[in-house]
């Protein structure tokens, strides 16, 4: 069965040569420009989100309903997917299924090739990033134009996305101006770093492309099973351009995005905008059911590790995620390390629990992701569908195998701690060892069997003087 | 085994229970009282130009802006008596739409709490491209179309129609997470509220 494997890497591309989280994070933390950009953006949005959420006295009730609708749907996912397929088909759309990234990419490539087109316009979509669609299309001679402003910044800059909502969050306005001046043909000479001018440049750049596009690829924020309706939530109007003007629309959607009923939208259209851009409502939301206004419509339903994630009773709550990115914006680790360190299209706290589950653990970055957190719980509190991210992180840590060296070290520690003499000796030994090992101010990766422990953790250098010695000296 | 069969096999076939037991203790509306003022205030928050006028003033007010405006089938002729109107019948090409100065439509529903106008692209609203390509959208909202909040709007709207929810002019938060108006959709949104 070609293309059907649950092996890591085949399911979701780990960015090539991606080091474990601590290594990538260490480099990011030293980048002061990056830290300043992230601190500025996340601080701004955090305050706004608190206001937007605080406006609704029933936020807790909305959140509880959202959580329960998602849990119910994930439990009965097969039923709702069948219903969705039936409804989309009845309304003139065609539904395709894909077990993994390779299969999904093949389906989309074949659909585009059948139209004879070699260019497509795209609305920002996490699912297509997850499956590496642009790269697969490129290999098939099809160029995908990203049309979301931040995606455009990333694509023109030859960069990688670092945030779910704002993939170019690591770039400030001055850097964006430089990228536009360098990569955007016909950009005005006097382009300033005024965000309004930058947005106008993007409008100019993409206008002709939109008006001439024959095929578009989108994701979906929600799909309503009982009515076959798809929902795309956006701000700029690039979504509307892609969904409306081309003759053929191909929407790629993770299977967990389905909702049971039309009425359920009343919950999620309140939860998502306020959590995401901290607005009462985002500028544009498009809803369509099947083939609309004479368009050809294809819906591609992608598993890619979701059924496996669903099999884990604790871990499956990650499938509730509506990709709002509130957890990224409140996370102290994300704010300092940035999105790239997570080595996946899904960064931040949700990425730390979603990526290893979708890919199946195995790579150094996936093994380290459950540790990319202080377990402070801010993400859980901000999550509009109450995903207990710390709980899943701890669960995933325990799922990772504890090595023989780690168990031996724990037994040795217990033996040492039982005797004051042994402890005093151990502390003096540690002080000496610290002077040797910790020249950089922390103990990073140790060689040999200790690597399994130190790969994912930095330890502070032990004090050169023990507390007892210091006490006695006074 | 096909991808479809295999995914559905992995998901099992348990009978669906429990949907009706999902608690829904959230509010149907967040504001009691006059929803018209609330709508006007909230729509203006997102930089839409909002005016409340008498129905009789409509033709004169719609005639105020300069330029040629696309007009969908089903919009009352009396409204556009003083407008340089271009009927979208037969449908205008995308290039034609792009060359116009704006578009005038009605709407299906408006949501006070969020300052949102919802189009269902029925009579008087036009196909989706009509309100997307021209750079200026002038929309007439009748007071009877304004509901208090999102749940009431979803209840009134039909999934059998394509829907576009519009909250202010096109905008982006992609540069430093600060909202800037004016990207790909209409850069100006003007809302005229008239009594039903």
Q: Tens digit of pLDDT for each residue in B92-131?
A: 999 999 999 999 999 999 999 999 999 999 999 999 999 9
The C-alpha torsion from A7 through A10 and A16 to A21, rounded to 10°, is -50
Show the tokens assigned to B101: 């100065």
Residue A41 lies in a domain: yes
Distance from the A435 Cα atom to the nearest Cα atom in chain B, whole angstroms: 43
Per-residue model confidence (pLDDT) at position A95: 98
**CATH second-level architecture of B33-194?**
3-Layer(aba) Sandwich (3.40)
Per-residue model confidence (pLDDT) at position A7: 37
Contact by Cβ (8 Å): A62, A385:
no
Contact by Cβ (8 Å): A272, A384:
yes
Residue A130 lies in a domain: yes
Mutation target for B interface from A102, A156, A236: give the one with most B CBs within 10 A.
Answer: A236
| CB-based contacts of A472, cutoff 8 Å, min separation 6 | none
Residue A88 lies in a domain: yes
Interface confidence (ipTM) of the complex: 0.97
pLDDT of A402-439, one tens digit each?
Answer: 555 555 666 676 667 777 777 777 777 766 666 666 55
Contact by Cβ (8 Å): A324, A384:
yes
Verify that A188 and A63 share a domain, yes or no.
yes
Verify that A289 and A166 share a domain, yes or no.
yes
Using CB atoms within 10 Å of the CB of residue A467, give its burial: 0 to 12 exposed, 13 to 18 middle, 19+ buried: exposed
* Adjacent-strand bridge partners of B189: B137
* Tally of domains in chain A: 2
> Omega into A204 within 30° of 0, i.e. cis?
no
Gyration radius from chain B CA atoms = 20
Verify that A270 and A414 share a domain, yes or no.
no
List the domain range (segments joined by +) for residue A469: 404-473
CB-closest option in A168, A200, A284 to B185: A284
Show the tokens assigned to A451: 């690597």
Verify that A286 and A417 share a domain, yes or no.
no
Residue A7 lies in a domain: no
Chain A residues inside the 8 Å CB shell of B12: 78
Residue A339 lies in a domain: no
Residue A399 lies in a domain: no
Domain boundaries of chain B, sorted by first residue:
33-194
Which of A246, A274, A306 is where one domain is finished? A306
* Binary contact (B178, A285; C-beta < 8 A): no
Which of A306, A327, A351 is where one domain is finished? A306
Contact by Cβ (8 Å): A342, A351:
yes
pLDDT of A38-92, one tens digit each?
Answer: 898 899 899 999 999 999 999 999 999 999 999 999 999 999 999 999 999 999 9
Neighbours of A291 (CB within 10 A): 16
How many helices (H) and strands (E) chain A has is answered by 23, 12
Verify that A198 and A71 share a domain, yes or no.
yes
Mutation target for B interface from A240, A259, A300: give the one with most B CBs within 10 A.
Answer: A240
Between chain A and chain B, the number of residue pairs with CB atoms below 8 A apart is: 236
Length of chain B in terms of residues written: 196
Residue A3 pLDDT greater than 70, yes or no? no
The pTM of this model reads 0.88
Verify that A239 and A104 share a domain, yes or no.
yes
Residue A103 lies in a domain: yes
Spatial distance between the Cα atoms of A47 and A51, rounded to a whole number of angstroms: 7
Estimate to the nearest angstrom the gap between the alpha carbon of A254 and the chain centroid: 13
Which of A285, A306, A327 is where one domain is finished? A306
Neighbours of B67 (CB within 10 A): 12
Question: Binning pLDDT at 50, 70 and 90, where does residue A8 land?
Answer: very low
Residue A369 lies in a domain: no
Strand residue runs (E) in A290-409: 296-302
* Binary contact (A176, B166; C-beta < 8 A): no
């Amino acid at each position: 069965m070609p293309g059907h494997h649950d092996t890591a890497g085949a399911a979701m591309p780990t960015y090539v040569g991606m080091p474990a989280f601590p290594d990538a994070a260490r480099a990011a933390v030293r980048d002061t420009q990056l830290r300043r950009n992230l601190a500025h953006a996340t601080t701004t949005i955090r305050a706004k989100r608190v206001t937007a959420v605080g406006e609704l006295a029933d936020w807790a009730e909305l959140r509880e309903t959202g959580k329960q609708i998602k849990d119910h749907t994930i439990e009965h996912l097969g039923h709702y997917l069948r219903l969705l397929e039936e409804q989309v088909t009845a309304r003139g759309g065609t539904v395709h299924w894909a077990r993994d990234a390779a299969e999904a990419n093949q389906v989309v490539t074949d659909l585009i090739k059948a139209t004879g087109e070699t260019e497509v316009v795209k609305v920002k979509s996490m699912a297509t990033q997850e499956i590496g669609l642009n790269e697969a299309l490129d290999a098939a001679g099809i160029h995908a134009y990203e049309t979301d402003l931040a995606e455009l910044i990333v694509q023109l800059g030859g960069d990688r996305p670092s945030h779910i909502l704002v993939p170019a969050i690591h770039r400030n306005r001055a850097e964006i101006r430089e990228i536009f001046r360098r990569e955007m043909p016909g950009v005005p000479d006097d382009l300033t770093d005024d965000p309004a001018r930058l947005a106008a440049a993007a409008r100019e750049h993409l206008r002709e492309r939109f008006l001439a596009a024959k095929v578009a690829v989108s994701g979906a924020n929600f799909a309503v099973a009982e009515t076959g309706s798809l929902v795309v939530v956006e701000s700029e109007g690039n979504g509307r351009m892609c969904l409306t003007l081309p003759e053929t629309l191909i929407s790629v959607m993770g299977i967990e995005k389905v909702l049971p009923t039309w009425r359920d939208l009343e919950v999620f259209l309140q939860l998502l905008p306020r959590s995401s851009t901290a607005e009462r409502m985002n500028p544009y939301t498009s809803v369509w059911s099947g083939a609309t206004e004479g368009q050809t419509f294809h819906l591609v339903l992608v598993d890619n590790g979701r059924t496996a994630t669903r099999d884990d009773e604790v871990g499956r709550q990650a499938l509730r995620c509506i990709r709002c990115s509130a957890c990224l914006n409140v996370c102290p680790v994300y704010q300092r390390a940035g999105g790239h360190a997570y080595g996946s299209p899904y960064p931040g706290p949700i990425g730390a629990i979603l990526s290893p589950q979708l890919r199946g653990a195995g790579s150094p970055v996936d093994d380290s992701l459950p540790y990319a957190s202080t377990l402070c719980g801010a993400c859980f509190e901000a999550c509009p569908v109450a995903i207990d991210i710390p709980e899943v992180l701890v669960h995933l840590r325990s799922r990772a195998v504890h090595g023989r060296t780690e168990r031996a070290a724990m037994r040795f520690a217990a033996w040492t701690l039982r005797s004051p003499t042994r402890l005093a000796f151990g502390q003096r030994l540690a002080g000496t060892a610290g002077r040797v090992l910790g020249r950089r101010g922390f103990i990073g990766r140790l060689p040999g069997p200790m690597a399994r422990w130190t790969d994912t953790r930095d330890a502070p250098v032990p004090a050169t003087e023990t507390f007892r010695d210091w006490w006695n000296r006074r | 085994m096909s991808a479809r069969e295999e995914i559905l096999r992995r998901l099992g076939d348990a009978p669906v229970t429990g949907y009706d037991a999902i608690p829904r203790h959230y509010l149907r509306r967040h504001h009691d009282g006059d929803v018209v003022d609330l709508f006007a205030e909230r729509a203006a928050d997102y930089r839409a130009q909002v005016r409340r006028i008498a129905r009789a003033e409509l033709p004169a007010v719609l005639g105020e802006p300069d330029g040629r405006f696309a007009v969908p089938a089903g919009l009352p002729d009396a409204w556009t008596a003083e407008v340089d109107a271009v009927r979208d019948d037969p449908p205008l090409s995308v290039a034609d739409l792009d060359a116009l100065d704006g578009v005038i439509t009605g709407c299906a529903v408006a949501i006070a709490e969020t300052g949102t106008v919802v189009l269902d692209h029925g009579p008087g609203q036009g196909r989706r491209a009509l309100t997307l390509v021209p750079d200026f959208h002038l929309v007439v909202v009748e007071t009877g179309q304004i509901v208090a909040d999102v749940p009431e709007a979803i209840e009134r709207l039909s999934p059998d129609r394509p829907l576009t929810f519009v909250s202010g002019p096109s905008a982006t938060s992609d540069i430093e997470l600060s909202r800037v108006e004016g990207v790909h959709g209409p850069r100006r949104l003007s809302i005229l509220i008239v009594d039903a």
